[in-house]
Amino acid sequence: MQKPSSDASDDEAIEKPSDETATHQGPDSKLAVTKKRKKPTECFLSQPEETPESTLKAKKRKKKKISDVLEKSPPKPGVPEDLQNLLSQHFGTKRSVIEIEELKLPDSCFLPANDLTHSFSSYLKEICPKWAKFRKNHEEKKSVVMLVICSSALRSLELIKSMTAFKGDCRVLKLFAKHIKIKEQMNMLEKGVFHIGVGTPGRIKALVEQDGLCLNSTKYIILDWNWRDQKLRRMMDIPEIKKETIDLLEMRIIKLCREGSVKLGLF
């Protein structure tokens, strides 16, 4: 009759170890529990670090081309204010207030600017109504009555050809470095009388510095302002040409303009 009680105690004895195994936690079981209860970590995709090369490429891609700008807005003819602003920006941080004032060009220094409707000959005829008189009276060597400044030797040749209707029998001298030595140009200026000089600012500047060309008899100075090369650059868009032109203006031309002996034109 005691078998049921022994059976119950046996069942309890059998169940106790199972309870102990469930409640008992050894070192291995702690790790197991912690692993199960550990919250999942969030994953973030790491972005590649920006290198100077990548940022430089991005800047290059963002840079607008002159052709893109011209497609959106047609080119505007140059005006005296453009040259005045260019000079003030160039000298703004390099000169004193008094020096900057002396380098300013008043509006009275300028001839009418080309409105992009003229050929070179028609423009010269409009701005130089007294050309026949100046040409006839000019007899000084080492000087010219008109000086045309442009960006390259090839452009100089184009302008010389396009002024045929204006120049008539006037003598024109090429003032650029390509295929012509500066000594040859100095000898020609010293021996002969020339009415018009057409060339680049670098060579003209060198001739003035070496006393090969005197600007005291010059009445007109024309800047080939609006013309664009194959890359759609104007002469003042080319850093080297821009610097040489400004240097030439500062060296002598600005002073002559302020004195009233020289007039500036933007073609």
For the stretch 81-137, pLDDT in tens is 999 999 888 887 777 888 888 888 888 999 999 988 999 999 999 999 889 888 889
Is the confidence at residue 155, as pLDDT, over 90? yes
Q: Tell how many helices (H) and how many strands (E) occur in the chain.
A: 14, 5
Q: Which ranges of the chain does DSSP label H, i.e. alpha helix?
A: 3-23, 27-37, 52-62, 66-72, 80-91, 97-102, 120-127, 131-137, 153-162, 164-167, 182-191, 201-209, 239-248, 254-259
pLDDT at 106: 87
Mean pLDDT of 175-200: 94
Q: Tell me the C-alpha distance between 253 and 240, whole Å.
A: 19
Q: Select the more confidently predicted residue: 216 or 67.
A: 216
User: Do 142 and 226 form a contact (C-beta atoms < 8 A)?
Assistant: no
pTM as predicted: 0.73
Q: What is the mean pLDDT of residues 18-23?
A: 44
Residue 215 three-state SS: coil
pLDDT at 217 over 60: yes
Query: What integer best gives the mean pLDDT of the chain?
Result: 81
Whether 199 has a pLDDT exceeding 60, the answer reads yes
